[in-house]
Structure 1
Amino acid sequence: MGDIEPGALVLRRAEPADRTALAGTDPIAAAGDPTRRASIRRWCEQGLALLAEDSRGPVGYGVLEYTFFEQGFLTLLTVVPGARRQGVATRLLTAVEAACTTPKLFTSTNVSNQPMQQLLLKSGWRPAGLVHGLDEGDPELFYLCPSENLSLSSTLRTFPDTVIGKESRI
């Protein structure tokens, strides 16, 4: 994949028909993991996945659920290697913040995942805790989205569709 042209990235809610394409952007699903593939199917069917795509197709996705103490939780954010460091993850993160309908939004990442930690800190998220034992030898860091990101976006509950120039519900 080459560089993503400014304005060529579209963010939208993934539909059930997108599940195969999403699985292709996810390294765990692409490797054939049946559990991840089942999760992707469920996320698409339940409208929980936000898809980022350009003219060549999907380049990443994020999943927003409400299973973490009934608060928003960014369960997964992934971007294909050829589209990284081009603003895709930042746009997905902002879309998740805009879509969240609870007063708090959390996420977690492994200690070893430095790029995700950098993205979260750059976006103003604050460390909220550390859990050992989920992935052996690689603790999980939890983060909390700043309330001002949510209060700003929560009044809109939409994000701009940069290709067709209209507001899209998520």
Structure 2
Amino acid sequence: MHPMDVENPSGLRVDRVDPSDWTEVATIDSVAAAGDRARRDSIRRWCESGAVLVARDSSGPVGYSVLEYNFFEQGFLTMLMVAPGARHRGVGARLLAAVEAGCTTAKLFTSTNVSNHPMQQLLRRADWRPVGLLHGLDEGDPELFYLCPRASR
């Protein structure tokens, strides 16, 4: 465990996950924890590919993110999940900042459903810019696409 310091008073740290820890990551994913086998398979695949960052505090893992490069060969934040009991404590913002810092392409995108207001608020607070809307992925719940502000610099 890293000692707490002034820059990180919560003791939260973000590290690349070990591929063998995929089951631990799955326990904090509300969809996987509810028994969604496809999500568990995705988490295992993401962890094995090295695409997962996990946020941990003194209690263990509290969130994770997935950064892939399969969206027009640009960075794409595929998943950002914070454990229900750890929400509204800055975990999502720390994961988002870690993904931004680790992205190796000029542009970084993400998307979220219109119904996912917490993610939209997180992206707005981090100055991500809405860049498009796609209908047809989830019936009745369009997907909003965002561009990381670093691409605008």
Is the pair's TM-score, using the shorter chain for normalization, greater than 0.5? yes
Shift of 1:6: 2.3
Shift of 1:7: 3.8
Greater displacement, 66-75 / 32-41 = 32-41
Q: Which position in structure 2 is the counterpart of 1:164?
A: none
SS at match of 2:106: coil
Shift of 1:66: 0.3
Q: Which position in structure 2 is the counterpart of 1:17?
A: 20
> In structure 2, how many angstroms separate the alpha carbons of the residues matched to 1:21 and 1:6?
24
> In structure 2, how many angstroms separate the alpha carbons of the residues matched to 1:90 and 1:8?
14
1:28-39 correspondence to structure 2 within 5 Å? 28-39=31-42
> Do the aligned partners of residues 135 and 148 (structure 1) sit closer, same or farther apart at CA in structure 2, a change above 3 Å counting?
closer
Selected match of 2:97 from 69, 94, 97: 94
SS at match of 1:77: strand
One-letter amino acid of the counterpart of residue 104, structure 1: K
The gaps in structure 1 that reach 5 residues or longer are 152-170
* Cα deviation 1:133-164 (Å, max 9, x = unaligned): 10110000000001268x7xxxxxxxxxxxxx
**Structure 1 residue 43 and structure 2 residue 46: aligned?**
yes
SS at match of 1:61: strand
Residues paired across the two proteins, number? 146
> In structure 1, how many angstroms separate the alpha carbons of the residues matched to 2:19 and 2:107?
27
One-letter amino acid of the counterpart of residue 14, structure 1: V
> In structure 1, how many angstroms separate the alpha carbons of the residues matched to 2:36 and 2:90?
28
Higher relative contact order (CA 8 A, sep 6+): 1
* Cα deviation 1:36-86 (Å, max 9, x = unaligned): 111111111111000001111110000000000000000000101111111
Q: Which runs of 4+ in 1 moved over 6 A?
A: none
Cα RMSD over matched residues?
A: 1.4
Selected match of 2:145 from 142, 146, 160: 142
Instruction: Give identity over the alignment, percent.
Output: 67
Greater displacement, 14-23 / 91-100 = 14-23
TM-score (normalised: structure 1) = 0.82
The gaps in structure 2 that reach 5 residues or longer are 1-7
